[in-house]
Chains A and B, each alone.
Chain A
Amino acid sequence: MAEATNAVGAHATTPAPSLSTVQLIEAYRTMVLARVVDERCMMLQRQGRIGFYVPMQGQEAAQVGSTLALRPEDWIFPAYRELAVALTRGIPLTLLLDQFFGNSGDVEKGRQMPNHYGYRRFNFVTASSPVGTQITHAVGAAMAAMMRKQSLVTVAFFGDGTTSSSDFHAGLNFAGVFQSPTVFICQNNQYAISLPRERQTRSATLAEKADAYGLPGVLVDGTDLPAVYRAVRDARERAIGGGGPTLIEAQVYRLGPHSTSDDPKRYRSDDELKEWKAKDPLARMKHDLLERNALTQEQDHELWETAKKEVASALSQTESLPPVDPLSMFDDVLAKRPTGLQEERDELSRFLREGALKP
């Protein structure tokens, strides 16, 4: 059976045994930064400055807590809602914003929608839109690391809806059979766009699905950062020690819409939202830090102001960059550009040169 930690929303009765106060403050700072970035990006989309955005408000504790339990050599296979994972990993905010704007600073050269980023030097693999495909990639990479006798884990992040996908099944099944050092982190944010968790599966929990694959399944309150940290740390240690993969279900709530194209009022009640807003992981973290005298109201205010300044400054840096080079569209399709593609590139180049098309 899945092992459950404390229930969602319940305040941890004991402080984290293995995260220092300094680490907790730093974790909270990252959560605040993620919240500020998230709110700012929703506005940027409404203003037409970026084309699309996928918010992650409500999932900060699950993301920061899990990533803190990883080491830089561990490979992260994210879905498209992992902003706080990226920030905890140390990926500079400007790089992320460059990707949202698809400008010349974007390492992906403006090819993907916002939120679909990846940075090889941070072992943070480029995300795609199909859900669940990254799960088997994480298993394959872990098998490769095992073959090379390298001591690290791979981590796949995904949501509750993904547990219905064939890749979830294939990935957990392969991981179980090959005992790959993989940690599967399912952030159950209660909705797959409009479909509530109860309609996604008849299973009582998502964590218990691990049973069928012969792996440990762990249910954790995803609004409780130290609890998430412990669950992932334990899973990582087990994997490194040859104990194979673990499925962790972190129960959270998506406070915002699925994306900027979604209106959650169509499928969930204000009362429900209100109930979950009371369990906002940021409020919980702040409360715990205040209780422990690790933070004052003034320091909290300062944290938010600093985050806002950091975001404003990163944003102005990003917006000062020129757009992406149009002809870069033809790069990276294959290692070398084949004849037909070169001809197409020449054709667009001609249109641009003659002014028939504007860059």
Chain B
Amino acid sequence: MTELTLVQAVNRALQQALRADPDVVLLGEDIGVNGGVFRATEGLIKEFGPERVIDTPLSETGIIGTAIGMALYGLKPIPEIQFQDFIYPAFDQIVSELAKFRYRSGGQYPCHVVIRAPYGGGVKGGLYHSQSAEAYFAHTAGLKVVIPSTPADAKGLLLSSIHDEDPVLFFEPKRIYRAVTGEVPDGDHRVPLGEAKVVREGSDVSVFAYGAMMPPSVKAAETLASEGIEAEVVDLRTLVPLDQTAVLGSVEKTGRAVIVHEAPKFCGYGAEIAALLAERALYSLKSPVVRVTGWDTPFPYALEHLYLPGVERITHAIRTAVRSS
């Protein structure tokens, strides 16, 4: 065990994968000599050389397109998109190519690329360094979407993604890259994909969150314990494939649900959870599902503290869910 920040845990996972398998290669902008703008790839070029830690020209479609070609050939590329906000030039490559290669070739060409990208707000990043774009990718068949919220999960989920057979979009909550530290197992630590985690048990209401929304969700739950409200907090961790059992099981127990994400509400990932509960757990529900999300606006710079869900709004939502029944 080593005490690490989330970004250090990402770095250790990459190091572990590069050491274990000569087919693993990293590519992206400023990831080599510079060690990545968030230092996620710090020191890796020194250990593994510029042939496996590749500084690329500035083109997201070029990065993802060449990564796909490498994967088709048999390598295990892990491209980095510097900010998730800049993933859109590669959207065609991800949605039309990466997601569909296995399917369209009848299984002849599995295409295992793990795309890492820091996402989310709270870093004074304005419109183009703050977005949460997970829903676009969760909507596309053929992709897995993973978002860790702790250093141990960052390492464990990233290593599982690298050892998976499917394309994975691995979105890292940059707001808590260094804000949280935690004990991280050394070596080949893996956390299975597709398994949510109950991080706080409770009997009155289920709070579903992921990534950077986990710390305020847990804090809100702890705050409300003094009011006699016991909230269960579930870290979804893998958005695709969704751990349906965990979601339904928790709501069957508590009868109430609050869903938290920083992406906008309309057609956000929370809508899928709400729909699942409406379809499968309606008779367990004692009160309407409540969503706490970013507003349906582009991400604002000066007012981000009012845009992002925080402890206050999550606390309010939990109270609303509990008291409206």
Residues on A lying within 8 angstroms of B by beta carbon are: 75, 77, 106-109, 111-112, 116, 118-120, 125-126, 128-130, 133, 135-145, 147, 154, 166-167, 169-171, 173-174, 177, 331-335, 338-340
Task: Enumerate chain B interface residues (CB-CB to A < 8 A).
Answer: 25, 51-52, 56-57, 59, 61-62, 64-75, 77, 89, 92-93, 96-97, 100-110, 141-142, 144, 164-166, 194, 240-242, 244-245
CB pair A140–B69 under 8 Å, yes or no, is yes
Please, which residues of chain B bring their CB within 8 A of the CB of A333?
102-103, 141-142
A90 CA / B206 CA spacing, docked (Å): 59
Q: Which residues of B contact A340 (CB under 8 A)?
A: 241-242, 244
A120 with B105: CB separation less than 8 A: yes
**Which one of A116, A140, A147 lies within 8 Å of B65 (CB-CB)?**
A140
B103 and A130 form a contact (CB under 8 A): no
Inter-chain contact A338/B241, CB cutoff 8 Å: yes
Most buried by A among B51, B62, B70, B164: B62
With known contacts A130-B96, A333-B102, A334-B166, A144–B141 Cβ distance under 8 A: no
Q: A133's contact among B25, B51, B65, by CB below 8 Å, is which?
A: B65
Docked pose: A188 CA to B106 CA in angstroms? 31
When the two chains form the complex, which single residue of B96, B108, B244 contacts A118, counting CB atoms closer than 8 Å? B108
Task: Give the complex CA separation of A177 and B72 in angstroms.
Answer: 21
Q: Does B108 contact A136, Cβ atoms closer than 8 Å?
A: no
Write the nearest CB–CB distance from B102 to chain A, whole angstroms. 5
- State in angstroms the CA–CA spacing of A77 and B69 once bound together: 10
Which chain B residues lie closer than 8 Å to A339 at the CB level? 241, 244-245
How far apart sit A77 and B70, CA to CA, in the bound complex (Å)? 13
In the complex formed, the residue of B with least CB distance to A127 is B104
B96-A112 in contact (CB<8A): no
**Residues in chain A near residue B245, CB distance under 8 A:** 339
Nearest-Cβ distance from residue A255 to partner chain B, whole angstroms: 29
The chain A residue sitting closest to B166, CB to CB, is A334
Residues of B within 8 Å of A137, CB to CB, are: 65-66, 68-69, 72, 97
**In the complex the two chains form, what is the Cα distance from A170 to B97 in whole Å?**
16
- Residue of A106, A137, A173, A338 with most chain B CB atoms under a 10 A cut-off: A137
Q: Report B37 CB to chain A, min CB distance, Å.
A: 20
Among A116, A133, A138, A171, residue most surrounded by chain B Cβ atoms (within 10 Å): A133
Chain A residues whose CB sits within 8 angstroms of the CB of B108 once the complex forms: 107, 118-120, 126
Complex CA distance for A332 and B99, rounded to whole angstroms? 11
Residue of B68, B69, B73, B109 with most partner-chain A CB within 10 A: B69
- Min C-beta distance of A201 to chain B, whole Å: 19
- Report the separation of the CA atoms of residues A276 and B59 in the bound assembly, to the nearest whole angstrom: 39
| Least CB distance, B194 to chain A, in whole angstroms | 7
Whether A140 contacts B100 in the complex (CB less than 8 A), given A125-B109, A126-B109, A338-B194, comes out as no
Kindly state the separation between the CA atoms of A107 and B245 in the bound complex, as whole angstroms.
35
Which residues of chain B come closer than 8 Å to A332, judged between CB atoms? 102-103, 105-107
Is A108 a contact partner of B105 (Cβ separation < 8 A)?
yes
Pair A136/B106 contact, Cβ less than 8 Å: no
Give chain A residues whose Cβ lies under 8 Å from the Cβ of B77. Answer: 140
Contact of B72 among A125, A147, A167 (CB under 8 A): A125
Q: How far is the CB of A166 from chain B (nearest CB, A)?
A: 6
Given contacts A126-B105, A332-B107, A339-B241, contact A141 B73 (CB under 8 A): yes
- B72 close to A335 (CB less than 8 A): no
Least Cβ–Cβ distance between A172 and chain B, in angstroms: 10
- By a CB distance below 8 angstroms, the chain B residues around A335 are 102, 110, 164-166
| Residues A133 and B96 in contact, CB atoms below 8 Å apart | yes
In the assembled complex, the Cα of A126 lies from the Cα of B72 at a distance in Å of 11
Asked if B142 and A141 sit within 8 Å, CB to CB, the answer is no
- On whether the beta carbons of B73 and A145 are closer than 8 Å, the reply is yes
Q: Which chain B residue shows the least CB distance to A120?
A: B108
- 29 A-B pairs with CB atoms under 8 Å apart are A107-B105, A107-B108, A112-B104, A118-B105, A119-B108, A125-B72, A126-B105, A130-B97, A133-B92, A136-B69, A136-B93, A137-B97, A140-B68, A140-B70, A140-B77, A143-B70, A145-B73, A169-B59, A170-B62, A170-B65, A174-B57, A174-B59, A332-B102, A332-B107, A333-B103, A333-B142, A334-B102, A335-B102, A338-B241
